[in-house]
Structure 1
Amino acid sequence: LRDGKEEDYKTDAVFVAIGDDPSNELAKELGVALDDGGYIITDKKQATNVDGVYSAGDITGGVKQWIVACGEGAVAAISAYDYLNL
């Protein structure tokens, strides 16, 4: 703790967060729609408002955990594949 004291807490898990300002510069350049927090807006297939552009993970807001990002990434990859092979 900042005051130099130590405390013990019984927990089942600890989640570490490293900041949460979205790095959305490329999305802005492409014209991708962002929400009020600066996160990319996607549909259920991880598609953005820009044709052929997909997004996944922390940049889309919501739950910021790697397992969620992995799932969204898989959906985005399949959606991009389908888009390219229409």
Structure 2
Amino acid sequence: MGTKITKLNSISGSCASMGGAITLGLATLGGIPVSTTHTITGAIIGVGAANDVKAVRWAITANLFVAWVLTIPAAGLIAAIFWWIGTKFL
């Protein structure tokens, strides 16, 4: 995923991994449910932007954000449809 968002080397990749791990650890301690994929992606974007804002492929990043925003309501809608089918026909 890192090479599609921004170019990573061993140091920047390690920093992104550490940033994601720390974020996950703090969220876990706080009892906050977070996605591992979202945290590592955010860390990769952060490392790329810290190095050079222009090095981040913002179009790909925007597509990821749109997908994340749509995932929760889409999953809820699909679950509601299956619940409705289950209550009517089963």
TM over 0.5: no
* TM-score (norm. length: structure 2): 0.32
* TM-score (norm. length: structure 1): 0.33
Which of the pair has the greater relative contact order for Cα pairs under 8 Å at 6+ separation? 2
